[in-house]
Chain A
């Protein structure tokens, strides 16, 4: 309890600089589900997903450990991003250095690999995210390729090992270290972001800088990014070599998967999320609009189909503007007649990939994208 009190005190000390104290007004207007308070893991509510851009006060929060120590003002002046390893001119960039380089904006979905973990059967351990560990934002910052041009990587540099400022409580706990291949690092849409939806990153979202890896799982989007090591081989750290891996050939639900049959996750998979109806809702007869969002990894959304008869027939939904990596909002008018109704949305991306009827089970509960069937009752 002493430690917790200390932590809360430390956070409170930041309030004057970078934190906004929660108020009851927030609970009425917006808010998040508190899945774990320490470290902070908060899920967006279902009705968040009616817009292309996710508002900051509704955006999910994912942490492995407590926030880095230090207030925002100190972090802004002391933080450095060290790019080192297999490079001719390794360099440490300050926040000021980054603000002086050309800024780029990329719209992209950030989704925790474990979004939907709580929906798997049999159940798997971990934070029991359901549908809200995702959001779409406009990220602004410096191209990682521009930083790499400055440090001049060796030809042997094939992988980037990524570290942030957050630290585990116990020394024995593996630090959160991830990696991406150099090809993705050099992609013009991969940026070191300083802003989210036009505002400086908040502390919970990685102030002063986080990596944005469009189309890829959120665990690669390193917050409080502090070190990039250019290396010839893949990282050997726990959260790359053991954690955040997906079976090369998924097996039966509950079946163990040998480590040699697991590989690092990269791209997100095609998915849709209904926002305006949820299981057990009682809905008045009449005209309603079914609204939600769809996205995929590195492909645009081509279509979203809706069923209101449990999957017997499907109708195309009307789609709003699309983007390379963002949410695509879908809408579908529905004339609700009295009775029990099962509704679902099914997204298909430009490569032809579509959502499966059943989830692809894996031991850590990653990349859930099965079609969600929502049962409601229509009555006066």
Chain B
């Protein structure tokens, strides 16, 4: 954590996987396997790829939509739980324990304390323009 907090901006954009492998142990109260929080990476829409919950994200959420839906939300844990429960009504196959686990995971990273996502301008996507 100390190392990350001292990182210069461009270094802070390194993916979570890289950050977590070089980080000090997480603070008390968090499961030891959780990757460290890198604020700049979160703002840029990066994912904590090594978090165990990412397996569920990849298996369930990504069937219908990209993970950019996840990384731009700023919700409390109860709000995340409500949103994930809605997704189960839309077809996500998650049991209660998995819902709770995903809500806690999402709220740890993408909560109201985190400022809004940074965005970059891109060309119009395929199909945006007529012939």
Contacts of B116 in A (CB 8 A): 118, 128, 130
CB-CB < 8 A to B75: which residues of A?
Answer: 123, 125
Which one of A61, A118, A170 contacts B125 once the chains associate, using CB atoms below 8 Å? Answer: A61
Q: Contact check, A172 vs B91: say whether CB atoms are below 8 A apart.
A: yes
- CB–CB A14/B126 < 8 A: yes
Q: Is the interface of B mostly helix, strand, loop or mixed?
A: loop
Task: Name the prevailing secondary structure of the A interface residues.
Answer: loop
Q: Which residues of B contact A33 (CB under 8 A)?
A: 119-122
Q: Which chain B residues in 102-127 approach chain A with CB under 8 Å? A: 112, 116-117, 119-127
**In the bound complex, do residue A56 and residue B125 qualify as a contact, i.e. CB atoms below 8 Å apart?**
no
For chain B residues 72-94, which have a beta carbon within 8 Å of chain A?
72-75, 79, 83, 89-91
Residue B131 at the chain A interface, CB threshold 8 Å = yes
A12–B112 CA distance with the chains assembled, in angstroms: 38
| Contact B131–A18 (Cβ < 8 Å) | yes
Which of B10-18, B33-41, B63-71 interfaces with chain A?
B63-71
Contact A18 B65 (CB under 8 A): no
Q: How many residues of B contact A (CB 8 A)?
A: 31
Distance to closest chain B CB from A39 (angstroms): 6
Instruction: Report the stretch among A143-151, A179-187, A194-202, A319-327 that lies at the interface.
Output: A194-202
Segment with Cβ contacts to B, from A24-32, A210-218, A330-338: A24-32
Q: Are B119 and A19 in contact (CB under 8 A)?
A: no
CA distance A196 to B131 in the complex (A): 12
Query: Which residue of chain B lies nearest to A207 when distances are taken between CB atoms in the complex?
Result: B130
- Collect the chain B residues with CB atoms within 8 Å of residue A31's CB: 121-124
Given the known inter-chain contacts A35-B72, A123-B75, A123-B112, please indicate yes or no for A23 contacting B130, CB distance below 8 A: no
A204 touches B125 (CB 8 A): yes
Shortest Cβ gap from A131 to chain B (Å): 12
Determine if A127 is an interface residue (Cβ-Cβ < 8 Å): yes
Q: Across the interface, do A127 and B69 meet the contact criterion of CB distance under 8 Å?
A: yes
Against B, the Cβ 8 Å flags (1 = close, 0 = not) of A45-67 are 10000000000110101000101
Q: Is the CB of A18 within 8 A of B123?
A: no
Q: List the A side residues contacting B97 at CB < 8 Å.
A: none
Identify the 8 closest CB pairs spanning chains A and B, nearest first.
A170-B91, A26-B123, A22-B123, A172-B91, A203-B127, A31-B121, A33-B119, A199-B130
With contacts A23-B123, A34-B122 known, what are 4 further pairs, Cβ within 8 A? A11-B126, A18-B130, A123-B75, A200-B130
